[in-house]
Amino acid sequence: MEKVNLTEKLRLFKDYWRPRIAGELNDSFVKLVKLKGEFVWHHHDKEDELFLVVKGKLLIRFRDRDIRLNEGEFVIVPKGVEHLPIAEEEAHVLLLEPKTTLNTGNVENERTVAELERI
């Protein structure tokens, strides 16, 4: 057991849309990611995912509505729900999701990260 300082971990990388593993909880990873710009419409067939904004703001667009998250707020996106994360300015986000979760879900493109780095 050891404590994790989110600010220190987030200082270890600068690139966007490339999640890092900061911890494990049962069958889930605690991931940290920096976001800027628009991601890709996608969904996860078998996994729910939690987005917690550590710094900045995040818009998560759904087909029927938008959810805006500020620092300290989170949303859980249920499996099968198509969504599009957007960060107009740099945002730091903690993700809690099953270990099987691929960042781009049902879409494979240049932003797909199959092998996650541990920090």
Taking CA atoms, 58 is separated from 38, 55, 104, 108, 114, in Å, by 10, 9, 17, 22, 23
CATH code assigned at 76: 2.60.120.10
Tally of domains in the chain: 1
The model's pLDDT over 85-102, given as tens digits with 9 standing for 90+, comes to 999 999 999 999 999 998
Residue 20 is inside which H or E element, if any? strand 20-25
Buried b (16+ CB within 10 A) or exposed e, 65-87: eeeebeeeeebebeeeeebebbb
Q: What confidence score (pLDDT) does residue 113 get?
A: 86
Residue for token pair 């797909």: 112
The C-alpha atoms of residue 119 and residue 111 are separated, in whole angstroms, by 19
Q: Is residue 1 part of a domain?
A: no
Q: What confidence score (pLDDT) does residue 108 get?
A: 86
Q: Is residue 61 part of a domain?
A: yes
Joined tokens for residue 25: 């909880």
Q: Which domain holds residue 92?
A: 6-118
Q: Is residue 68 part of a domain?
A: yes
Q: Is residue 19 part of a domain?
A: yes
Can you tell me the mean pLDDT for 71-93? Answer: 98
The model's pLDDT over 99-116, given as tens digits with 9 standing for 90+, comes to 999 898 898 888 888 888
The model's pLDDT over 33-61, given as tens digits with 9 standing for 90+, comes to 999 999 999 999 999 999 999 999 999 99
Q: What confidence score (pLDDT) does residue 112 get?
A: 86
The model's pLDDT over 12-31, given as tens digits with 9 standing for 90+, comes to 999 999 999 999 999 999 99
